[in-house]
């Protein structure tokens, strides 16, 4: 089974609505349990550098109450709670959402789980923010993180290696490098090209080549690997970087990819 797609979220502040989606490489039944079961949510909802959910209670039926409690990285306690409105396992879950940091305003979260060839497409809709534009925008960022945590947790459980796409920019030691190569540097660039072809053959690289930037050409390499650490391991092993001649890579994760 293929790996997960990256989560994406869009906050339409004019409508007070967030739409988020992620594809997770496990069946809808497993995803549904992960987003409802009291013993599941504390396993994945949160990160040490932000906050952790430590307790979750849930009466998973229409009219039943739910509540999550946790602790922020700053040591402060928090909670969020609501009631279930619709419960249709494993494809649909609608619940109210009431958070103190949003003034205990009542909003509505709808999960839709659709089976697809690669697993489950989860679509989340969070609505009811009205004119509270900042809260809508902030929750949009938050849901993208949360769906990422969910996907990572379920992928790890299923033994699926996470996959990411990284934009790697090779910055040469001088702006006019492409036009002033010495013979020794030309030979070094030949070893660099051979190295990138190896990455392409072994499936780590998607595309590479020089970019005609008016301020000075630089090299582009798009990698598809598990983590940023793996991407940096590939770039650090490039012969031009190891040569000590002043080459360096900037490595940035891509938020989403159309292929």
- Is 1 inside any structural domain? no
Burial bucket for residue 150 (CB in 10 Å: 0-12, 13-18, 19+): buried
Do 153 and 219 lie in one domain? The reply is no
Do 35 and 86 lie in one domain? The reply is yes
Tokens (6 digits) for 51: 């906050």
Total domains present in the chain: 2
- pLDDT tens digits, residue range 22-73? 999 999 999 999 999 999 999 999 988 889 999 999 999 999 999 999 999 8
Rg (CA), the chain: 23
Q: Residue 203: what pLDDT? A: 84
- Is 127 inside any structural domain? yes
Do 104 and 190 lie in one domain? The reply is no
Question: Residue 64's domain is classified under what CATH number?
Answer: 3.30.530.20
Q: Residue 48: what pLDDT? A: 86
Rounded CA-CA distance 122/17 in Å is 17
- Stretches in the chain below the pLDDT threshold 50: 1-2
Domain that holds residue 181: 164-253
241: nearest Cα among 253, 250, 228: 250
- pLDDT tens digits, residue range 108-132? 999 999 999 889 999 999 999 999 9
Q: Residue 4: what pLDDT? A: 59
Global model pTM greater than 0.75: no
The structure tokens 């039926």 sit at 61
Phi, psi of 131 (to 5 degrees): -85, 5
């Amino acid at each position: 089974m293929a790996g997960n797609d990256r989560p994406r979220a869009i906050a339409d502040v004019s409508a007070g609505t967030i739409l988020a989606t992620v594809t997770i490489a496990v069946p809808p039944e497993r995803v549904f349990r992960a987003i409802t079961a009291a013993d599941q949510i504390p396993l994945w909802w949160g990160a040490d550098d932000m906050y952790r959910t430590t307790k979750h209670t849930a009466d998973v039926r229409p009219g039943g109450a739910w509540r999550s409690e946790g602790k922020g990285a700053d040591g402060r306690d928090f909670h969020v709670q609501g009631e279930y409105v619709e419960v249709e396992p494993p494809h649909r879950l609608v619940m109210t959402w009431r958070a103190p940091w949003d003034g205990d305003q009542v909003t509505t979260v709808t999960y839709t789980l659709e089976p697809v060839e690669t697993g489950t497409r989860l679509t989340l809709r969070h609505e009811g923010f009205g004119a509270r534009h900042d809260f809508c925008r902030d929750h949009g960022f938050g849901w993208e993180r949360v769906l990422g945590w969910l996907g990572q947790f379920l992928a790890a459980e299923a033994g699926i290696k996470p996959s990411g796409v990284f934009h790697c920019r090779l910055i040469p030691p001088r702006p006019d490098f492409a036009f002033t190569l010495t013979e020794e540097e030309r030979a070094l660039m030949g070893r660099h090209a051979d190295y990138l072809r190896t990455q392409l053959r072994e499936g780590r690289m998607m595309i590479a080549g020089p970019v005609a930037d008016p301020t000075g050409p630089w090299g582009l390499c798009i990698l598809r690997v598990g983590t940023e650490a793996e991407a940096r391991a590939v770039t650090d092993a490039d012969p031009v970087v190891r040569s000590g001649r002043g080459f360096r890579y900037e490595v940035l994760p891509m938020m989403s990819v159309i292929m």
